[in-house]
Structure 1
Amino acid sequence: MQILHSIHFVIALGIFLIIIKEFAKSCSHLITENNRKILLKSQNILLMVLAGALLSAITQSSSIVVLMIIGLVEGSVISEKSGLAAVLGTEIGTTVTGQLLSIPQKIIFFLLPFILLVSMVLPKFKNIRKTIFWFSLLILSLYHMSIPVKALTSNSGTMINQLLLLANDKVSVAIFIGFGFTALIQSSSALTALAINLGRVGVLEITGALGLILGANLGTCITGVLASFSFSKKAKTIVVGQILFNFLGIIIISIIFHHYVNLVIFLTPSKLIERQIANGQTLFNILSVIAILPIFPLFYRLVKQISLKIM
């Protein structure tokens, strides 16, 4: 029976990954390529951070924006420093996916048909209508994925359940699992969705879920690493900066992890674990960016030095 549930989960996960890619593609059509380049042409570090956050929030894919930034740096359209600032912003923008997935499903199932009906009446909102359609499928696939997840984790004797229990107790294990899973499937959104589902069914506690999310932040850097092999040293600086930024953030938060968890719980009035997970992801990325901005010139010089030594 466990084998059937495992097959069911793999199929559900595959469908979810396909749908989330289509959702990201439909979101990216909401803003033109020229507008993206205009947003990323500022020399002001704070504005570049905001531009990166905005673009990744609209396109629902930090990977797409990061790859675009690498291409612009490679083509000397923007500087390495500006590109690195924009990449830091994508870390904030990508948390919008988690916020959307954490909305109570009853509310989404009630509102989506109404919003879709309104968009169908207004022909100018064709791209928005397509985005809403894929988001509807995304929520349905997320719900469908929770069925095998609940079945696989219902037996306390299974290896998966034991591993998740260990993740609840040890943040280092949770971070490692989150990193490995995200690096393997190249989607931090899928890991976020899985963490939310595991939280909803009561298998994953907030400590384990946030540990998974921290690991996913580092795992998502693999996309840039793979893409950087075909680029020059200049563009590879962006990749090194993204990895170092997430690594330092994870180290610092790990040291004060229990205070961080308590803050997340305090800032989430609803007490729903899915909302806590989403807010925890957003809080981590916002705090990391706020912490790095005052020392950004120093951080950039450190990134350059590391890049020169390892490339």
Structure 2
Amino acid sequence: MIASILLPSMLGFIIFLCGMKLMELALFRMGGPAFLRLLERSTQTPLHGLILGTASTAFLQSSTAVTALSISLVNSRLLPFSRTLGIILGTNIGTCLTTELIGLNIFHWAKPIIGFSFVLWTVSTLLIEYRLVPKLAAWPGSEYLRSASVVLFGFGMLLFGITVMQSIGPSLQQTDMYSWFLQQAQTTLLWGVLTGAVLTACFHSSSAVIAMIMGIAALDTLPLELCIAIVLGSNIGTCFTAILASIGGTKGGQFVAISHLLLNIGGAALFYPFINLLASAVLLTTDSIPTAIAHSQTIFNVLCSFIALPICYLKWFSRLDQV
């Protein structure tokens, strides 16, 4: 069991997380300073915040990073709490980009992408550090080229990590724990919600947990309804990092974390009775289970965010800025 399940799953998960972190750091290096300035200026209304939160999370590939930045800005009193509500809703939408890309089933491109990114990084480094071509070395975009190569390398690692995690499928099906989990899930899908929440809280990445589930489900080892329940749970679990980030901060920062948790719990509770309906709806769009999981997350997050958006306009939230 250790050799066939635990080692491949942990190795694949580590590769996946390293890829995501490389993408996050490289993308933030490319657009982070501009994003901070934009965040301070472009959140006048919850709708503006939602658009900004969606775009920034899709670009930075990390809802956790955007939420943590928002908490930091509120703690430093550069941004009032009420103007973060739209951003929080937007992060839930923006994080769907990663899973939608994974749902395209382009895992066979992992090694070519890694190879191309290494060549691109080598060329850009030679241009910048050794100035082999002076005119190109002086080009301001050369540094962006090197960051872009790191982004591609991280994306290749992300795909390769999922491929490694997929290898545990046949061995996983033969375990007693897997059979027990499926039996419990047949009685109530709350097991799936709980599993998604706990795994995401432990690994601090809903995208990583959902990607792992997509990889296993691709081998027809998990029913779609259970996978969607895990997706709902992962949305709750992703709030754990924000809660940790708010500890010791101002009340405004704590309000950000609490509102994030309440919004995600409310969305999961709203959609839980309709999991079977959602599963039937996404299967009309694709025959691929991983793609269906990605679509279900996108539908869930988009609908929840737009349902909650009018609530963010209540003047009651503005009064909390004075607390």
* Fold similarity call, TM over 0.5: yes
TM superposition shift of 1:117: 8.8
- In our comparison, the structure showing a higher alpha carbon Rg is 2
The alpha-carbon distance between structure 1 residues 169 and 23, as it changes in their structure 2 partners (threshold 3 A), is farther
Please name the residue that 2:14 is paired with. 14
Alignment of 1:87-102 (within 5 A): 87-102=88-103
Q: For residues 257-300 of structure 1, what are the alpha-carbon distances to aligned partners after superposition, in whole Å with 9 as ceiling and x for unaligned?
A: 2222222223x2x3211111111111111000110112323496
Q: 1:18 to 1:129 in 2, by over 3 A?
A: closer
2:74–2:81 Cα contact (<8 Å) kept: yes
Deviations for 1:221-261, whole angstroms, at most 9, x for unmatched residues?
A: 00011111120111111011101101111111012222222
Structure 2 match to 1:35: 35
1:153 equivalent to 2:172? Answer: yes
Higher relative contact order (CA 8 A, sep 6+): 2
Is 1:210 matched up with 2:228?
yes
Q: How does 1:123-202 map to 2 (within 5 A)?
A: 123=142, 125-147=145-167, 149-155=168-174, 157-164=175-182, 166-167=184-185, 170-202=188-220
AA aligned to 1:127 is: S
Structure 1 residue runs without a partner (length 5+): none
CA offsets, 1:22-79, max 9 Å, x none? 2221222231323333244221221111101111111111111101000111122121
Tell me if 1:293 matches 2:301.
no
**1:125-175 CA deviation, whole Å, 9 max, x = no partner?**
22111101111111111101211x2143231x5213431454366321100
Instruction: Give the stretch that moved more between structures: 42-51 or 159-168.
Output: 159-168
Question: Residue in 2 aligned with 1:57?
Answer: 58
* 8 A Cα contact 1:200 1:273, kept in partner: yes
Amino acid in the other structure paired with 1:171: L
From the superposition, tell whether residues 292 and 146 of structure 1 become closer, same or farther in structure 2 (CA, over 3 Å).
Answer: same
**Aligned equivalents of 2:235, 2:319: Cα separation in 1:** 18
SS in 2 for 1:256: helix
Opposite residue 160 of structure 2, the aligned amino acid is L
Q: Which amino acid aligns with 2:157?
A: L
| RMSD (CA atoms) | 2.6
CA 1:182–1:79 in 2, change beyond 3 Å: closer, same or farther? same
Structure 1-normalised TM-score?
0.87
Instruction: Tell me the distance in 2 between the aligned counterparts of 1:161 and 1:300.
Output: 48
Change (3 A) 1:131 1:77: same
CA distance in 1: counterparts of 2:247 and 2:152, whole angstroms:
36
| 1:237 and 1:303 in contact (8 A); partners too | no
Q: 1:64 to 1:119 in 2, by over 3 A?
A: same
- Judged with a 3 Å threshold, the aligned counterparts in structure 2 of structure 1 residues 197 and 57 are, in CA distance, closer, same or farther, namely same
Alignment CA distance shift 1:259-1:38 (3 Å): same
Alignment of 1:98-137 (within 5 A): 98-105=99-106, 108-109=109-110, 112=113, 116=117, 123=142, 125-137=145-157
Alpha-carbon contact 2:117-2:150 (below 8 Å) kept: no
Give the structure 2 partner of residue 273 of structure 1. Answer: 289
Contact map agreement 1:169 1:208 (CA 8 A) in 2? no
Alpha-carbon distance in structure 2 between the residues aligned to 1:260 and 1:100: 20
Residue 184 of structure 1 deviates from its aligned partner by 1.3
Aligned equivalent of 1:3: 2
Equivalent position SS for 1:204: coil
Task: Output the CA distance in 1 between the equivalents of 2:27 and 2:104.
Answer: 19
Gaps of 5+ in 2: 125-141
Does the 8 A contact of 2:85 with 2:256 survive in 1?
Answer: yes
Q: Match of 2:248, SS? A: coil
Farther-moved stretch of structure 1 (208-217 vs 27-36): 27-36
Letter paired with 1:184: C
Runs of 4+ in 1 over 6 A off after TM superposition: none
Identity %: 24
